[in-house]
Chain A
Amino acid sequence: MEIVKRPHVENFIAWAKDKPEVVVLTADLTNSSEVGKWRDTYPDRFFGMSMAEQNMMGFASGLAREGFVPYIHTFAVFIYRRPYDQLAMSIAYPNLPVKFIAFLPGITTPGGVTHQAIEDVSIMRATPNMTVLETGDATEVESVLDVAHAVDGPVYVRMLRGEVPRLFPKDEPMKLDRARILSDGDDLVVITAGITTEEAMRAAKPLADAGVGMRHLHVSTHKPFDDPAILESIERSRFGAITLENHTIVGGLGSAVAEKMAEAGSGKRLLRLGLRDTYAHGASKAYLMKEYGLDAAALVAGIENLTGMSTGITDEDLAEARVEATHSLAKAEGL
């Protein structure tokens, strides 16, 4: 598996070249949001808004009303948490085309509770007019811009930075409200998004070897959430579904699937894996994924719970199945 170093940096520069309406606003997190080179390339389209997110939302609103398409780049927590009233009233209510490029989703940062966006999908899903996207690999980091730009209104994007794996072919871009089917099987459906997709992919071969039939869906659109493949897959499965999300299990991917199942009268079971209504703390991504049960081992345990099957899969099996030895899972990214 290819590891792509900072896929957003050059891609965003090339993508914005023929889009003079695109401007960037950030709140003192230029290089941390991978737009330092963008600023140097398009200095007249870049606005450093200081550490003042409430005001940044208002300026973005005003620029959008005048025909620009602001791409706000900062950490997710400083988009949906600190200035929520401004985001909702100045941008979301008027359905303005402001795109929020939200870095450090979930526990991808060692920055601890203040920097970990663990309930952002829930809050953004509940915000009317908002489209909610999440990137799971380098191909999606590169193609999410086209998806976001085509939406008539505000878009929140859970973005990955630094070293990002390429899980999906470069010529298979993200599509709005369409899940990717990554493996197939009759026993259960596993639905993942963002960094948890790689975990389920890691478990795929050991599970197949153990005779477990997993249909694996990767979701990159949290809202709208109307891909019929989700429900159809669950209804076809023997045991039901498991969601695995880098987020609290309240209001995110697991909740979205539960809503669909309940409204359709599905009799299948659903197991929601993710942060169990808790904040996290500062540590490496790999450590936190293990601690909070977001990794491949947690998924295997969940599958055994849901299906009643015993897989015999060990941590060593999963370690050997790591997709790429050079992938620096344990490397803490700087702030």
Chain B
Amino acid sequence: MIPADANGDWTVKTQEVADRIRTRVLDHVLRHNGGYMSQALSSAEIFAMLYTRVLNLGPSTAPMIPQPFAGVPGPDNPDFFNGGEYNGPKAPEYDRLIFSPAHYALVLYTALIEVGRLTEEGLSQFDQDGSTVEMIGAEHSPGVETTTGSLAQALSQAGGIALARKRRGDAGDVWVMMSDGEFQEGQIWEAIAEAAKFGLDNLKVIVDVNGQQCDGCMDSEAYVDPLTGRIRAFGASAVEVDGHDLEALDAAMRAETGKPHFVMALTNPVQGLPIFEERAPLLHYLRFTSDEERDRYQAVYEEMVN
């Protein structure tokens, strides 16, 4: 459910959140000499839209400073803590966010900070031993409700949640944040076909179509272009938009199509940080190769924040 727009200036706030996601992630990469930078650049508006505009979430029920790792889920571990609590309580009227590309965890944590669901100090625990703020998050990590680091499993999990919620008549939607590389896995196509078969119109998916994967560029000619049509052919609705255009994202994400709905956000993996283009096509992970390079990025960062 998306609340009706009462204020024409919403884009200002949402863009600010997106911009701050970029600068905070760049700051983190500079401090730690490494990180998933391109994911933040391409998906900053997506996360900003989800958390400030689209998702109907209750207040976080989790501590602002993440608690340490309390063990894996199991019958003998009553202390297990689910990261989905950062997205508020589960209730019929609320939406749910199922976060699929776990390698975007740094972006998710940063988004939680920018919308006041996590403290800045939380990010200092990133990738620290004994912390839940893991590099590739699992369901104890802030904002992470299900374990999806083995890519392409989230859509099926969300399908099951959406099926259960549809049976119950819940008003809230189930949103999935995905990356385009995941569509190379066969499970995604099984999931789309079954979600369409069950008429899961409460299942909404926002896809960061940045054309990037671990080994470099996805073959856009052979792969990305027909992606939207393939999703439609499998029985869902799909619409392409500029993934950095908030108004366009808003219209696409509001659409009610009577089917599982995919918003294909076409994004730029170096959006807001053009200097990063020189690394193309290997943009999956940024680690500086020299002090000189790091200094150049530091200079860009200073410009961004000042």
Q: How far is the CB of B255 from chain A (nearest CB, A)?
A: 23
B89 interface residue, CB < 8 Å from A?
Answer: no
B77's closest neighbor in chain A, by CB?
A95
Q: Is B74 close to A, CB under 8 A? A: yes
* Residue in chain B with minimal CB distance to A54: B187
B156 touches which of A66, A90, A151 (Cβ 8 Å): A90
A63 at the interface (CB under 8 A from B): yes
Complex-state Cα separation, A67 to B170, whole angstroms: 14
Within 8 Å CB of A71, what residues of B? none
What is the chain A residue whose CB lies nearest that of B152? A54
**Stretch of B62-70, B189-197, B276-284 with 4 or more beta carbons under 8 angstroms from chain A:** B189-197
Contact check: which of B74, B75, B163, B186 meets A59 at CB < 8 Å?
B163
Closest residue of chain A to B160 (Cβ to Cβ) is A62
Q: Is the CB of A62 within 8 A of B163?
A: yes
**B155 and A58 form a contact (CB under 8 A):** yes
Q: Across the interface, do B75 and A152 meet the contact criterion of CB distance under 8 Å?
A: yes
Q: Known interface pairs A50-B194, A62-B161, A63-B164. Does A86 touch B75 (Cβ–Cβ under 8 Å)?
A: no
Please state if B74 and A86 are interface contacts (CB–CB under 8 Å).
no
Task: Give a binary string over A76-107; 1 marks a CB under 8 Å from any B CB, 0 the rest.
Answer: 00000000011001100111000000000000
A contact residues around B61 at 8 Å (CB): none
Asked if residues B147 and A94 are in contact (CB atoms below 8 Å), the reply is yes
Contact in complex: A58, B186 (CB < 8 Å): no
Partner of A60, one of B73, B150, B160: B160
**Contacts of A6-59 to chain B: CB distance below 8 A:** 47, 49-50, 52, 54-59
Does A68 have its Cβ within 8 Å of any Cβ on chain B?
A: yes
Q: Does B139 contact A (CB under 8 A)?
A: yes
* A65 interfacial by beta-carbon distance below 8 Å: yes
Pairwise interchain contact A61-B146, C-beta atoms closer than 8 A: yes
Q: Does the CB pair B75–A153 fall under 8 Å?
A: yes
Which residues of chain A come closer than 8 Å to B72, judged between CB atoms?
A: 93, 128
Q: Which A residues lie within 8 Å of B194 (CB)? A: 49-50, 52, 55, 59
Q: Are A50 and B146 in contact (CB under 8 A)?
A: no
Interface residues of B in 150-205 (CB under 8 A from A): 150, 153-165, 168, 186-187, 190-191, 193-194, 197-198
- A55 shortest CB reach to chain B, Å: 4
CA distance in complex: A61, B146 (Å): 9
Question: Which listed residue (A52, A55, A95) contacts B74, Cβ 8 A?
Answer: A95
Contact of A153 among B74, B148, B187, B190 (CB under 8 A): B74
**Neighbouring A residues of B74 by C-beta, 8 Å:** 95, 128-129, 153
List residues of chain A with CB within 8 A of the CB of B160.
58-66
* Given contact pairs A59-B194, A66-B160, A94 touches B139 in the complex (Cβ within 8 A): yes
Q: Is the pair A94, B159 in contact by a Cβ cutoff of 8 Å?
A: no
Contacts of B157 in A (CB 8 A): 58-59, 61-62, 65, 90
- The B contact surface, by secondary structure, is helix
If A49-B194, A52-B190, A52-B193 touch, whether A95 touches B75 (CB-CB below 8 Å) is: yes
What chain A residues lie within 8 Å of B154 (beta carbons)? Answer: 58
Within 8 A of B (CB), among A148-166: 151-153
Q: Which residue of A lies closest to B162 (CB)?
A: A62
Within the assembled complex, what's the spacing in Å between the Cα atoms of A87 and B72?
16
Q: Is B159 within 8 A of A90, CB to CB?
A: no
Nearest A residue to B186, CB-CB: A54
Residues of A within 8 A of B162 (CB): 62
Contact B147 A62 (CB under 8 A): no
Point out the residues of chain B lying under 8 angstroms from A54, CB to CB. 156, 186-187, 190
Complex Cα spacing A52 to B197, Å:
13
Q: What 1/0 flags go to A238-280 for Cβ under 8 Å of B?
A: 0000000000000000000000000000000000000000000
B164 A50 Cβ-Cβ under 8 A: no
Question: B146 to chain A: which residues have CB within 8 Å?
Answer: 61, 65, 90, 94
- Once the chains are docked, how many angstroms separate the CA of A1 from the CA of B150? 49
Determine whether the beta carbon of B153 is less than 8 Å from that of A58.
yes
A residues near B158, Cβ cutoff 8 Å: 62
Contact with B along A107-145 (1 / 0, CB 8 A): 000000000000000000000110000000000000000
Residue on B nearest A85 in the bound complex, by CB: B150
Which B residues are CB-close (under 8 A) to A128? 72, 74
Q: Please, which residues of chain B bring their CB within 8 A of the CB of A151?
A: 75
Q: What residues on B are CB-neighbors of A93 within 8 Å?
A: 72-73, 138-139, 147
Contact B159 A55 (CB under 8 A): yes
Please give, as numbers and ranges, the residues of chain B lying within 8 Å of A49 by CB-CB distance.
194
**Cα distance, A61 to B72, chains bound together (Å):** 17
Contact between chains at B156 and A59 (CB < 8 Å):
yes
* Max chain A Cβ within 10 angstroms of own Cβ: one of B161, B190, B194: B190
List A residues at the B interface (Cβ < 8 Å).
Answer: 47, 49-50, 52, 54-68, 85-86, 89-90, 93-95, 128-129, 151-153
Given contacts A54-B186, A59-B157, 19 further A-B contacts (CB under 8 A): A47-B198, A52-B190, A52-B194, A54-B190, A56-B156, A58-B154, A58-B156, A58-B157, A59-B194, A61-B156, A62-B163, A63-B161, A63-B164, A66-B168, A85-B150, A89-B150, A128-B72, A129-B74, A151-B75
The 5 closest A-B CB pairs, nearest first, are A62-B160, A58-B156, A66-B164, A55-B190, A52-B190
